[in-house]
Structure 1
């Protein structure tokens, strides 16, 4: 059967037949959705001009696999074209006599009524059996002399509470002992300018002092009661030195020619030298108190 349709109707019918939405058609044809709607509705005024109308019509027809030449010919004439439509295949139905029909209500009414209640009956039976079993177990295990059980339970509870309290007391005592123990190698630094006092408490043996200078700085170091016989100069050639305080000795006087770019640690703890003047000689008085487990005081 042949029907007369507008160009827009042909385009829209083909797009619908392909199962494309407007957004999908926009991606397929690279034509803005607004212009696709204008082409399908015949609103050519929405397009920039005749050149774009023809270009978009041809591009749209080709992407929908239509005859672009026929579309352009129809546009040049009156905007309508002949389209062959296929008739839908009609389904064939068979008339069923009333006597052949079986109503669902009749089929349901033919089923035995007890079938609907069978699951409920089974679940109720199982639930009653469980309740009966639990009740029997409770009754069989019920103690005969409740007073004796109560006394025993109270006694056991008291013993348990006493044991728990003892454990807590012992644990608290252990924690208190741990708290009392002081950490090793604690530093206290006081003073400023050219004099600094450093107290090292709970020290471990041996007491080790490490000096390190930054690149481009020079420092001369001397100290008493250490394993150094003479002063040392640190520079880029040798930028670090380690001194060990004699075993059991508790004091050392450290002299530095310059603290600029110098870092100093005692037993791994950093000594803050920021309060000392830079570029001038300074003194550091070190006092050591050894830990009770490691101290070997000098005679």
Structure 2
């Protein structure tokens, strides 16, 4: 006996109407009728066949896992697609070049300042100090007649040494000031959400995003209509955690909040993305793939918790 006839017969034996099944599962009557007639062409997609049969069987008290395994040859097949995740340089790495430039900038300014001080001392000496000394010497020579007084080379040497010492002190002071400017306060990293990969050619379009520097992973769904939805935690391609129920959700369930902080790789399977607004840690997520053209979508979230 086909799986659809088997479910229909069991429903009739229990005296349950299709409306009652619809009320329990939130599955539209036309899809329930298609299941009983084994007419998979009327289903919204191959993925929904097993999901709807599982919901239907549980209402009747039938073991859905055994039922699906027994009639697996009757059901349409869905393709399993594996994905390779391409890591991209973090924002912190991309900023390292800029930080190196800005750390070098104070040293450059100090160098320019030292050159300016040296030039100022030299200019003052040539234009003011040295002419004044020469003038004094000329005046003294005039008062004493023809006596010529040789310039005091020791005094000039002392003046030069004093100027050099001042310049050296200025260099050391400026270098110390420059070193102080290099010490930058450590910046606290803020949570960041970025799109890693978009695969529109997969059997079910897949978007991979990365969440970094976040203390938790919280998902919020605003549903305006009807959609099938699940949230799974994955490890090595296997489901290790299930968050929430795997079922059809409606606007009556909105807003739906799920804390998926138990997994570093979370898979979202959204049956009808056009009626679901998704927020990740309070940030609204814009579907890179048009939700009106590709209704059924999957989203992988790679969560890197903050070090704190």
Q: Shorter-chain TM-score: which interval?
A: 0.3 to 0.5
Which one has a bigger Cα radius of gyration?
1
Q: Quick check: which one's helix share is greater?
A: 2
TM-score, reference length from structure 1 = 0.39
